[in-house]
Each structure stands twice: as structure tokens, then as C-alpha cells.
Amino acid sequence: MHISDFDYELPKELIAQAPLPRRDASRLLVVNRASGEIEHRRFGELPKLFAPGDRLVVNDTRVLPVRLLGDREEGAGEVEILLVNPVSGRPGHPTFEALTRPARKLNRGTSVFLGESRTPVQVLEELDDKKRLIEFPENFSLVDFLTREGHVPLPPYIRRNDTMEDRERYQTMFAEHPGAVAVPTAGLHFTPAVVGKLEEAGVPLTTITLNVGVGTFAPIVEPDLRDHVMEREYYRITPQAAEEITMTRKTGGRITAVGTTVVRTLETAEVPLAPGGPWTARAGDGWAEKFIYPPYEFHLVDALITNFHLPRSTLLVLVSAFGGRDLMRRAYREAVAERYRFYSYGDAMLIV
């Protein structure tokens, strides 16, 4: 397939710039793959849409304030650094792959001074046209520094500076394990009240971890989807989570992935319970690097809760593989016509 098959027009005013006051007040577009029917709901109604014995799987990764601001030296120009992946470096020196701006000014050996404390970091290597290898001082308390002076890495389509509200609001209620540079957005709509009603209805939740990286949101530039390479992201499925998923499969319940990150994790860790199925997830950790695009046979995910995604993105391609390209085109057209809010702080979709 060609990447142009996953394009659409979106009025800029539909890109949500801030969260709603109440998480579960988001709208919910419900899309039925079998009938093609599309319904308009509120996210607070979600518990009514499942049956006892179904299970939701959520991502419990936590976003770190890894966007750092500074300058090269007094008067030499501002610098922005986004810490992406920790790597092994000199003992005692925190070392990261980082996206940088302006990268052309950050050559090997350049010193950058970050935050109000003007903490010095060194550019060790130029990895590509945007990415650099960054080293912090010896025995540096990075967590304390990020807590004091780091910024929430809001997506570039949110055209404002981050605020203290974003520190809490750009996290899901499940956020526990630090390591993500972007929030698993489908989880942003959940509240304790919604979770409580799901559990009362006999629909429990299982948590897994996938540390969302910048590669998930990178646009596809190759015309042919088969040529795109996903950046890998670390995942972990505990023995308890694997057992809960297995129990649901054995009893005939549906597995609903809360977000594309959960889909990629489960489809990476899928294993058959017996020849011919059903399928479950194996416990363990590793790297999710599978690029899911049509046509794709899903073994473990029966339904999907997701936000509305950027054109030409791997996320939109995955959703189209799950929901069907033509049906997703129609659903997106309807969402635009009905003035849904798009992207990270926007509304949600349930595909069943």
C-alpha cells in the first residue's frame, strides 16, 4: 500500500490544544466492524459497551519531563534537547540519545548549559541529522534535575508552552513506570469512576508497560509502507498480566487494547495456547518493533480504544489495519464533520 492512502484533511481548529476539565467528558465514536455502524457516545458511557468476562488491557508507562532548554554559551543561541534513549556510557555519567534543535549547531565536543542551574552537558557524537549522544556530569542526579527543570514533551501540534497542569494531565491514571517520552493517549480518558463501573460490570483491567518513544509518532516518509522501519520501544508483561489475559481467552472473553501501544505490545508477545488457538501473551520483556499495516491478521486483540491520529502516521496505519481502511476513512470523515477533538488531548474512538 502507498502512504497516500492514509491521508486526510483536518481543520486546524479541531486539533485539541488543552485537555478537557473532566477526563471522561470526552466524546467517544463507536465503530462496529461487522455492521459498519457508527455511534456517537460519551467516554463515561464506556462500561455499558462491554459484557461480563471481557478485559481491558492498559499501558502503565509514565511520561518523564525530558524536554530540556538551555544554550551553548552566553549569547550563543538557545538549544532544545529531548532525551530519547539511555545508553551505556562512562561509569557514573548519565548518557542519552537525544533529539536536538538546532542540531546543526551541536557538533561533537560542543558544551550545552541546561536550565536555570546551567548544568553542563557534552555532545559526544553526531548520530544523524537531528540526533546526538549527550553526556551529563559524573554522579549527576538526573531524576532530581528533571523534576526541577525538565519540561513535559508535548507534541509539536500543541502550539503552546507546557504548564504545571500538563505535569499531571499529560499522564494517564495508570502511569506508574517512568520511561516514556509521550503519553499513551487512549488512557487519558479514564477516571477512577469509569474504572469502578467497569469492574462492577465484571470487566477487569490488566496493566502492561510499553515505554512510548518518538518513533511511534514519526511520520512515514517512504511511499511504500513495506519500506518503513519502526524504532523499537521497550515493553514488559508481568506473569500476572499474562495469566489474566490467558484466563480471559480460555473463558471466551474479549480482549480490548487501550491504545495502539497495547496493540503493538500484545501482538509482539503473542503465543498460541494450543495449535489452532486461542492466542495469549507470553510474560517477559523485550523490544516492540513490529510495524502493523494492512493486511494484518490480529490474533490477540478483539477491540480497540484509541484517539484520532495524524495523517500518514504509523498509528493511523495500525488503526486502519484493525478497523479496515475504508471504514476508518468514513469514521474519520464523520468525526471531522461532527467536530470531534483530535490528537493527544482530543476525543476517543472504540472499534469493536
Residues 105 and 125 in one domain: yes
Q: What is the pLDDT of residue 43?
A: 98
Contact 311, 8 (CB under 8 A): yes
Q: Which of 304, 256, 302, 300 is nearest to 280 (CA)?
A: 300
| Local confidence band at 75 (pLDDT 50, 70, 90 cut-offs) | low
First vs last C-alpha separation in the chain: 24
- Domain-embedded: residue 221: yes
85: domain CATH number is 2.40.10.240
**pLDDT tens-digit readout, 93-139:** 999 999 998 988 899 999 999 998 999 999 999 999 889 999 999 98
The predicted model gives 264-271 an average pLDDT of: 96
Q: What is the pLDDT of residue 342?
A: 98
For residue 77, give every residue at least 6 positions away whose Cβ sits within 8 Å of its Cβ, in sequence order, or none.
Answer: 71, 102, 105
Residues 102 and 59 in one domain: no
Burial (0-12, 13-18, 19+ Cβ within 10 Å), 348: buried
Residues 95 and 217 in one domain: no
- Domain-embedded: residue 89: yes
329: domain CATH number is 3.40.1780.10
| Local confidence band at 88 (pLDDT 50, 70, 90 cut-offs) | confident
Return d(Cα 269, Cα 208) in angstroms, integer. 11
Residues 259 and 211 in one domain: yes
Of 116, 149, 182, the position where a domain reaches its end is 149
Residues 77 and 210 in one domain: no
In degrees rounded to 5, what are phi and psi of residue 22? -115, 125
Q: Which domain holds residue 207?
A: 3-63+167-351
